[in-house]
A and B are shown apart, each in its own frame.
Chain A
Amino acid sequence: MKKYTLKRIGTSLFTLLAILLVLFILMHLMPGSPFNDEKLNDDQRTVLYEKYGLDQPVPVQFVKYVGNMLRGDMGVSYNISKNTPILQLIESRLPISIRIGGCAVLIGAVAGLLLGLLAALKHDTIWDSLATVISVIGVSVPSYVFALALSYYFGFKLRWFPMLFSADTLFKSSVLPSVSLSMFTMASIARFTRSEMLEVLGSDYMLLAESKGVSGPALIFRHALRNALIPIITVLAPLIVDLMTGSLVVEKIFSIPGVGSLLVNAIQSNDYNVVIALSFIYSAMYIGIMLVVDILYGIIDPRIRLAKKGD
């Protein structure tokens, strides 16, 4: 297990490095430069390039960048807010995105689990069909349609919640974006929970547990749900990362000052360091979560641990 974990961490680090390199090359292939103010003449531009080390060949820049990053320095912004360290720039925005994404995951996971459980326990009844209908709609209707509908009815018509995000009413104004983002997670989790639970409920060990005299919530939660949870974790993991960064449109609708809008601004204004840093953070989150899930998987389910020893 230890060997497998170490190997897995090693490949993850290598993948991250490769992603960083690809990002670096992609950014430098881009047309235009970060300093496209028309007032600048060529000499001034050269000076600027020299100052930020952009005149050096890409491999040298890359090595320097990686070196700086290991010391916790992600460079400075060229364009969006001049000379602000990237970390500082992200620091103010990431918590908002994480907050909304986190709420969405929480709402989605809990509601999805309950919905899936309901559907599985009341299999082939009206509840089951209702849950299926909800989950099909949740999976197929894009989150920003929900966002628009919610902001129209609850924000504009009923005025229960503010239509736009503001830091003053933090809780109230994060309700609508979180709920609209959570729909997809909820629907996928509900579908997955339902099918997993149906399989577990039909298995022999459930029959055994029942014949031992276990019943009620203990049967469902300790014996059934626990076994059904393992595959659900794998579905949830990538959804979490997607939510944190993929909420761009929802961020625009509610005008949330999150990471997504920063990324688009940075790409459009050639702010190399911001783009690379943000993309890298996203990739690191994605790969990190996948790594944790893989290792967790082995800890939760001994069968997988044994199978992987053969590797």
Chain B
Amino acid sequence: MKKKVAVAAEATAAYIPVDTDFKWKENAGDISIDENFVAQNFWHDVFVRFFRKTSAVIGLLLIILITVFAIIGPGMNDFGYSDQYLSQKNFAPRVKALEKFGIFDGTETMKTTTGKTQVNYYQEKDMNDLYYWFGSDNFGRDIWTRTWSGARVSLIIAVAAALIDMIIGMSYGLISGYFGGKTDMLMQRFLEVANGIPRLVIVTLLLLVLKPGMLTIIFALMLTEWVGMSRIARAEMLKLKEQEFVLASRTLGANSFFIIFKEVLPNIIGPIITQVMFSIPTAIFTEAFLSFVGLGIPVPQCSLGSLISDGFNSFTTHSYQIIPPIIVMALLMLSFNLVADGLREALDPKLKEM
């Protein structure tokens, strides 16, 4: 044996190849790349599928637009969100360029017992240099500024709550699904109890115990919204945990933590992202609902919900006050739903539409 190895070594030692022994084969014309079935990166595929869907793209553009306005909108004029000018109550919308066309010129039609009259407070009070783009409210606050700062508050609350929900619900569902058996049973019973208590009760109790404000609302939303996410994570885990790659990982000595978060999680990120996108409009709605009931953001801060609630009190007389926040909120919820729909289809084209 030893001898043979030595011989082989001698043979290789005898000749050392040099660069000139090799040359390129001129076969550029022979190589063809299959362009019909190019292998593609998963996320690239998702990207392409998503942008092919018009409704999803429109939704995304709307979200970006509203977010941009929520950031720069309040700074676009000289009014602050809590500035009150009691002499300038209930001014109708007036915009510089548009007033020549007879719209947004600061006039509003008032219905009185004697019939309809046209009122223009800007002229009546001799304030011709004043422009309230969306009008001013009952306390003389600028509705433009308040709408966008309300949108800002609502967006922050919704996104924060959705992200925290994702982390809690996802971990809960993954752990419950992975361990199964007694652990799963206990965790699911707990979930049933948590889910059985009316959401309104939990949220109101919390808001009464803690100080009302943005953080409390986020906390309350977090406590109530994680159930849906955990259900999805658990179902996906049950589907995946019997698969070979999990077994392989376990055979290689991976611990449960590694399998749950490093092996299974990347495989279910699609449904989870979709669920997050769906839970954002729910959070916006719940926040608005709380404000409407009177448990929301404390004054003088505002959110879309509290603006709608304010506008509701005078919506038959000064309907322009409730329209901006309602439109912004409806568009926001609509576009998040459209994007979530598009994402779901893009991430899993086989999944049936629900």
Contact = CB atoms under 8 A, between A and B. Distances in A.
Contacts of A194: 353
18 contacts: A14-B189, A26-B205, A136-B338, A140-B281, A141-B333, A142-B330, A144-B289, A148-B308, A152-B316, A156-B316, A192-B354, A249-B289, A263-B201, A264-B294, A267-B201, A267-B208, A283-B198, A286-B195
Contacts of B285: 142
B192 A15 contact: yes
Counting chain B residues whose Cβ lies within 8 A of the other chain, the interface size class is 35 or more
B73 to A, nearest CB: 21
Nearest to B193: A18
Nearest to A267: B204
A275 interface: yes
B337 A30 contact: no
A118 interface: no
Contacts of A14: 189
B79 interface: no
Leading 10 A-B pairs by shortest Cβ distance: A140-B337, A283-B196, A140-B334, A140-B333, A282-B198, A18-B193, A267-B204, A279-B201, A19-B196, A195-B353
Nearest to A287: B196
Contacts of A27: 205
B164 interface: no
B352 interface: yes
Nearest to B353: A195
Contacts of A246: 200
Interface of B: 55, 189, 192-193, 195-198, 200-202, 204-205, 208-209, 281, 285, 288-289, 292-294, 308, 312, 315-316, 319, 322, 326, 329-330, 333-334, 336-338, 341, 352-354
Contacts, number: 113
B222 to A, nearest CB: 17
B220 to A, nearest CB: 13
Contacts of A144: 289, 292, 308
A181 interface: no
A237 interface: no
B334 A195 contact: no
The A contact surface, by secondary structure, is helix
Contacts of A275: 201
A229 to B, nearest CB: 16
Interface residues of A, number: 48
A282 B200 CA distance: 11
A267 B337 contact: no
B209 to A, nearest CB: 6
A310 interface: no
Nearest to B204: A267
Nearest to B327: A145
A278 B315 CA distance: 32
Nearest to A146: B330
A182 B270 CA distance: 31
A19 B288 contact: no
Given A29-B209, A195-B354, A249-B293, A142 B288 contact: yes
A111 interface: no
A230 interface: no
A15 B189 contact: yes
A148 B326 contact: yes
A106 interface: no
A43 B353 CA distance: 64
Given A148-B312, A248-B289, A279-B201, A30 B196 contact: no
A191 B341 CA distance: 12
A145 B326 contact: yes
Pick from B55, B338, B354 the residue with the most CB of A within 10 Å.
B354
Given A14-B189, A267-B204, 20 more contacts: A18-B193, A136-B334, A136-B341, A137-B334, A141-B334, A142-B288, A142-B329, A142-B333, A148-B312, A195-B352, A199-B352, A245-B200, A249-B293, A263-B201, A264-B204, A264-B294, A267-B208, A268-B204, A268-B208, A279-B197
